[in-house]
Amino acid sequence: MIPHLDLKQLNRPYQAEIAEAMQRVAESGWYVLGKEVVSFEKRWADYCGISHCIGVANGLNALELIFKAYDFPEGSEVIVPANTYIASILSVTSLGLKPVWVEPDIDTYNIDPHKIERMITSKTKAVLAVHLYGKCCTMKPIWELAQKYDLKIIEDAAQAHGATYAGLKAGNLCDAAAFSFYPTKNLGALGDAGAVTTNDAELARKISSLRNYGSTIKYYNDHIGTNSRLDELQAAILNVKLNHLDAENQRRRELAGYFLSEIKHPDVVLPTAKTLYEDAWHLFVVRHPKREQFIDYLMDNGIQATVHYPVPPHKQRAYAEYSHLSLPITERIHNEVVSLPLNPSLTNEDAAYIVQTINQFAFQSHAAVGYYSGL
Ligand SMILES: *Cc1c(COP(=O)(O)O)cnc(C)c1O
């Protein structure tokens, strides 16, 4: 079977380097906020082209710490994309802020920048730009709105390591950005890890204090903080894996380009090719009107496709208070999306087999429902 993603296979090429890094930490005797964290923070900031990076425990905490540091008055509104993973929304509501949902652009799956302005009120403090599936949001109109209404823009770059927009890296497109290094992400640790990036020195100082009990000098606490430090062992592993991120993203782009040019199926809607070289291709997401049938067909042929995500946040039981909202584009996307296997360990043979299998489905499904009855 071609798995959607096999983490063991993904990390196999780096096993020796990872083992060495772990050994180095084990022998150092310094296990929390040590050299590896400092080094990774510096290297990740440099990679993103930004001045500050603060390592934290995970991606959700990275988002939450940004909102916590901004300290918006309770009840402030944050413009969020309705089409996202629930973590984006949790970061807003867990800080007592109100999510204001905006529909996506059906071609990019990211927030539709032209639907933001009508949702801005006197209580709006920020826009959360989620770069879903590895594609950066269309930032220019969002930058203009932020300037016009004096809003902060916060990036959820958890799926966009190495993606670019207008020549700038994700993580360097807004006031502050959150990254996750969850094992399945383009840059993945062997456990939970995350980071905040920003050019704002004041914000960086505050977040680096907040993640460590609100303390900068041991046993002196300036803020009501929390414990959300990036683990030293995970930082050491990230220092290894960062060396390979560009090559891995390059391979993802190569595979995405191949899928985009070779998959030809009247019912399969491919992702936009416009941003082929800017995307980080965290996921290769297509749409099919009969999703379950399509997934079953692929599975019967040894290809594991998955769904990101089956239920939009506003339709989750946890957010019952928002279930009345009418967000038809978001709901349609959640009903039709299918993520094909696309990751650095996919071989050319796997990719060719996926293409061939999908293209054959075109014939089968159409013959079955008689679309070609005129022939
Ligand atoms: C993975 C992810 C997060 C959360 O990251 P964790 O490290 O799992 O907390 C947030 N937003 C998006 C879009 C994600 O994909």
- Residue boundaries of the structural domains of the chain: 7-240, 245-360
Instruction: Please indicate whether residue 109, judged by its CB atom, sits closer than 6 Å to ligand 1.
Output: no
User: Which pLDDT score is estimated for 363?
Assistant: 54
* Rounded-to-integer distance, Cα 47 and Cα 14, Å: 20
Query: How far is residue 211 CA from its own chain's centroid?
Result: 21
* Rounded-to-integer distance, Cα 289 and Cα 281, Å: 22
User: Which pLDDT score is estimated for 364?
Assistant: 54
The atom number, within ligand 1, closest to the CA of 132 reads: 13
Mutate to test the pocket of ligand 1, among 83, 88, 282 (most ligand atoms within 8 A of CB): 88
The catalytic site residues sit at: 185
Radius of gyration, CA atoms only, the chain: 21
| Rounded distance from Cα 114 to ligand 1 centre (Å) | 25
In 3D space, the residue among 193, 217, 249, 262 whose CA is nearest the CA of residue 53 turns out to be 193
Taking CA atoms, 83 is separated from 17, 117, 290, in Å, by 38, 18, 20
The atom number, within ligand 1, closest to the CA of 58 reads: 7
Angle at 317 between CA 315 and CA 322, to 5 degrees: 50
CB 234 within 8 A of CB 181: yes
Instruction: Please indicate whether residue 47, judged by its CB atom, sits closer than 6 Å to ligand 1.
Output: no
| Rounded distance from Cα 22 to ligand 1 centre (Å) | 24
* Rounded-to-integer distance, Cα 276 and Cα 283, Å: 12
CB 256 within 8 A of CB 280: no
Looking at residue 45, its amino acid is A
Instruction: Please indicate whether residue 182, judged by its CB atom, sits closer than 6 Å to ligand 1.
Output: yes
Enter the tokens of residue 191.
């456990």
Closest protein CA for atom 4 of ligand 1? 59
Instruction: Please indicate whether residue 60, judged by its CB atom, sits closer than 6 Å to ligand 1.
Output: yes
| Rounded distance from Cα 87 to ligand 1 centre (Å) | 6
Instruction: Please indicate whether residue 87, judged by its CB atom, sits closer than 6 Å to ligand 1.
Output: yes
CB 184 within 8 A of CB 163: no
* Rounded-to-integer distance, Cα 245 and Cα 350, Å: 21
CB 1 within 8 A of CB 304: yes
Closest protein CA for atom 10 of ligand 1? 87
The atom number, within ligand 1, closest to the CA of 159 reads: 15
Query: How far is residue 317 CA from its own chain's centroid?
Result: 23
* Rounded-to-integer distance, Cα 69 and Cα 177, Å: 13
Closest protein CA for atom 5 of ligand 1? 59
* Rounded-to-integer distance, Cα 135 and Cα 164, Å: 8
CB 159 within 8 A of CB 282: yes
Instruction: Please indicate whether residue 85, judged by its CB atom, sits closer than 6 Å to ligand 1.
Output: yes
| Rounded distance from Cα 64 to ligand 1 centre (Å) | 11
Closest protein CA for atom 6 of ligand 1? 59
Instruction: Please indicate whether residue 180, judged by its CB atom, sits closer than 6 Å to ligand 1.
Output: yes
pTM over 0.85: yes
User: Which pLDDT score is estimated for 188?
Assistant: 98
Closest protein CA for atom 2 of ligand 1? 158
Could you identify the residue written with the tokens 């599936």? Answer: 133
| Rounded distance from Cα 199 to ligand 1 centre (Å) | 22
CATH code of the region 245-360: 3.90.1150.10
| Fold of the CATH domain 7-240 | Aspartate Aminotransferase; domain 2 (3.40.640)
Per-residue pLDDT of the chain in tens (375 residues, 90 and over written 9): 999 999 999 999 999 999 999 999 999 999 999 999 999 999 999 999 999 999 999 999 999 999 999 999 999 999 999 999 999 999 999 999 999 999 999 999 999 999 999 999 999 999 999 999 999 999 999 999 999 999 999 999 999 999 999 999 999 999 999 999 999 999 999 999 999 999 999 999 999 999 999 998 999 999 999 999 999 999 999 999 999 999 999 999 999 999 999 999 999 999 999 999 999 999 999 999 999 999 999 999 999 999 999 999 999 999 999 999 999 999 999 999 999 999 999 999 999 999 999 999 865 555 444 444 333
Instruction: Please indicate whether residue 105, judged by its CB atom, sits closer than 6 Å to ligand 1.
Output: no
Could you identify the residue written with the tokens 């867990």? Answer: 94
* Rounded-to-integer distance, Cα 80 and Cα 72, Å: 16
| Rounded distance from Cα 271 to ligand 1 centre (Å) | 21
CB 238 within 8 A of CB 194: no
| Rounded distance from Cα 353 to ligand 1 centre (Å) | 31
- Max CA distance (Å), the chain: 80
